[in-house]
């Protein structure tokens, strides 16, 4: 899938995180130790190790009380969310644990969750071990120990690797979301110290790459000297998986409307108008009146049928009722479409925003054809429970501004 890069790469000791949040809640290490079933010295040592992992002091001791530092308050919010994600991943199974109301985060270890994530990402115990830099038997033991704790199989052996059960996949997803929260925590703490070592992971569908993302990225790079933005191009289904697992912060591109999962939300930025296009030397380019039937005499370059623009094309041409499809090439790549239009008498359908520059240059001609349903909503897709950092929020605002400018530029 995708690779996350951050100062906090993996989930730290879960018991240390729990005693930390309990200390924040109670203002007492001894009370926190009692709640987490640790001795007071062990709790203090756990907090110290957590501070060493994060690289900052998390508490101040003043007038006999222990209170979180500014960094500690930020970290506490993210740690609480991370633990909640872990518990949600095993919510169905928690009733089968001792006592009936024991949370998953009270039973599993960080090593077990790290093994789960690595096996889920790679599909192999051997590759997971290489990714973690430890021996394969160690990964295997951690993974199997996790199954014993939960009392349910998480992995099944398939040809060429390891497949997860439905429960294993659910816990894997929530564990990755927990890790993403800790990545955000490290970035927020760095920003508080004046170190903008943040990375934003964006899933990009074709439309956004031509103007909106470049404008927004340029704005952010100029404003934040140490910010890195990683743009991942891909098909919607692959990007959606990355989003739901916390590998991506959000996706920008054509919205689906009928949400494929209840844990994501969409934000519409504008309605994109599609156009039937050809190259400047195409036989139809100079005709004042052109119909859709006229285009069927030429080879089409069409987007995948599963995409919003592909569905519009199928409906407009009535492709499902044709004995043979006019679409000879299937691609959403502007670069490929542009090159094909320059080489032959091809016809295609693309966003007016995507081709605005090429139309102004005269390289692409918009045919005078009115599509019966020629609009699709463009916007942002994110997780419903996502809590963006300040940098992520600023980038979203930059994208919204770039989208408004793009609409004005086409109208």
**pLDDT at position 93, please?**
52
pLDDT band at 3 (very low <50, low <70, confident <90, very high): very low
pLDDT band at residue 194, thresholds of 50, 70 and 90?
confident
Q: Tokens 């463009």: give the residue.
A: 378
User: What pLDDT was estimated at residue 303?
Assistant: 92
Average pLDDT over residues 288-296: 94
Tokens of 258: 């009928």
Residue in 154, 206, 203 with CA at minimum distance from that of residue 310: 206
Beta pairing class for 300-302 and 347-351: parallel
Per-residue confidence band for 102, with pLDDT thresholds at 50, 70 and 90: low
Residues contacting residue 118 through CB under 8 Å, at least 6 positions apart = 127, 128, 129, 131, 132, 139
CB-CB neighbours of 30 under 10 Å: 14
Query: d(Cα 32, Cα 131) in Å, to the nearest integer?
Result: 35
In DSSP notation, 18-52 reads: HHHHHHHHHS-HHHHHHHHT--HHHHHHHHHHHHH
- Give the span between the Cα atoms of 261 and 243, in whole angstroms: 11
Question: Given this model, what pLDDT does residue 8 score?
Answer: 44
Q: Are 86 and 70 in contact (CB under 8 A)?
A: no
pLDDT at 125: 93
Q: Rounded to the nearest 10 degrees, how much is the dihedral formed by the CA atoms of 331, 332, 334, 338?
A: 30
Is-contact 174 263, C-beta < 8 A? no
> How large is the C-alpha radius of gyration of the chain?
26
Residues 6+ apart with CB under 8 A from 333: 206
pLDDT band at 5 (very low <50, low <70, confident <90, very high): very low
Q: Is 189:71 a contact under the CB 8 Å cutoff?
A: yes
Check residue 101 and give its pLDDT: 57
Compute the average pLDDT of residues 184-192.
91
Mean pLDDT check: name the lowest of 90-94, 113-117, 247-251. Answer: 90-94
Among 15-19, 153-157, 294-298, 381-385, which is the least confidently predicted range?
A: 153-157
Question: What pLDDT shows up at residue 68?
Answer: 96
Find all residues with CB under 8 Å of 184, minimum gap 6, and list them: 78, 387, 389, 392
Is the pLDDT at 294 greater than 50? The verdict is: yes
- Confidence (pLDDT) at 306: 86
Find the mean pLDDT for residues 328-337: 91
pLDDT, one tens digit per residue, over 103-154 is: 888 889 999 999 999 999 999 999 999 999 999 999 999 999 999 999 889 9
Find the mean pLDDT for residues 171-189: 95
Q: Would you say residue 256 has pLDDT above 80? A: yes
* pLDDT of res. 99: 47
What is each CA distance from 273 to 76, 114, 120, 356, 377, in whole angstroms?
A: 45, 45, 40, 12, 9
- Banded model confidence at residue 91, pLDDT cuts 50, 70, 90: low
Residue 263 near residue 384 (C-beta atoms within 8 A) = yes
User: Residue 189: exposed, middle, or buried by beta-carbon count in 10 A (0-12, 13-18, 19+)?
Assistant: buried
Q: Report residue 2's pLDDT band, with 50, 70 and 90 as the boundaries.
A: very low
The mean per-residue pLDDT over the stretch 204-226 comes to: 86
Q: Is 396 helix (H, G, I), strand (E, B) or coil?
A: helix
Q: Higher pLDDT residue, 10 or 4?
A: 10
The answer to whether 97 and 105 are in contact (CB under 8 A) is no
Mean pLDDT of the 211-226 span: 91
Asked whether the predicted pLDDT for residue 410 surpasses 60, the reply is: no
With 80 as the cut, is the pLDDT of residue 411 above it?
no
Banded model confidence at residue 206, pLDDT cuts 50, 70, 90: confident
Report, as an integer, the average pLDDT of 267-271. 92
Q: Which residue has the higher pLDDT, 22 or 61?
A: 22
Rounded to whole angstroms, how far apart are CA atoms 326 and 317?
9
Q: Which two tokens stand for residue 314?
A: 């199928």
pLDDT, averaged across the chain: 89
> Model's pTM, two decimal places?
0.84
């Amino acid at each position: 899938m995708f690779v996350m890069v951050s100062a906090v790469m993996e989930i730290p000791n879960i018991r240390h995180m729990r005693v930390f949040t309990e200390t924040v809640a109670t203002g007492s290490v001894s009370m926190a130790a009692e709640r987490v079933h640790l001795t007071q010295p062990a709790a203090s040592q756990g907090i110290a190790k957590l501070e060493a992992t994060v690289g900052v002091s998390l508490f101040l001791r003043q007038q006999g009380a222990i209170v979180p530092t500014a960094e500690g308050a930020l970290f506490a919010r993210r740690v609480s969310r991370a633990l909640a994600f872990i518990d949600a991943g095993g919510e169905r199974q928690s009733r089968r644990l001792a006592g009936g109301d024991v949370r998953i985060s009270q039973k599993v270890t960080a090593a077990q969750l790290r093994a789960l994530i690595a096996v889920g990402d790679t599909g192999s115990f051997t590759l997971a071990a290489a990714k973690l830099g430890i021996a394969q038997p160690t990964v295997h033991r951690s993974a199997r120990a996790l199954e014993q704790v939960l009392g349910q199989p998480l992995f099944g052996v398939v040809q060429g690797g390891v497949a997860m059960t439905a429960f294993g996949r659910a816990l894997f997803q929530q564990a990755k979301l927990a890790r993403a929260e800790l990545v955000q925590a490290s970035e927020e703490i760095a920003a508080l110290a004046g170190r903008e070592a943040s990375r934003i992971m964006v899933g990009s569908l074709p439309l956004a790459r031509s103007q909106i993302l470049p404008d927004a990225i340029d704005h952010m790079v100029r404003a934040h000297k140490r910010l890195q933005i990683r743009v991942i191009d891909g098909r919607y289904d692959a990007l959606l998986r990355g989003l739901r697992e916390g590998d991506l912060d959000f996706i920008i591109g054509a919205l689906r409307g009928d949400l494929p999962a209840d844990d994501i939300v969409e934000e519409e930025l504008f309605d994109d108008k599609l156009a039937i296009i050809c190259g400047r030397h195409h036989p139809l380019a100079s005709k004042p009146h052109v119909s859709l039937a006229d285009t069927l005499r030429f080879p089409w370059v069409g987007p995948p049928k599963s995409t919003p623009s592909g569905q519009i094309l199928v409906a407009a041409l009535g492709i499902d009722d044709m004995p043979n499809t006019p679409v000879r090439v299937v691609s959403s790549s502007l670069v490929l479409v542009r090159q094909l239009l320059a080489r032959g008498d091809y016809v295609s359908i693309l966003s007016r925003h995507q081709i605005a520059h090429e139309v102004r240059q005269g390289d692409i001609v918009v045919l005078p054809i009115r599509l019966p349903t020629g609009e699709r909503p463009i916007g942002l897709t994110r997780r419903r429970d996502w809590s963006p950092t300040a940098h992520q929020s600023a980038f979203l605002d930059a994208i919204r501004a770039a989208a408004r400018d793009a609409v004005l530029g086409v109208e």
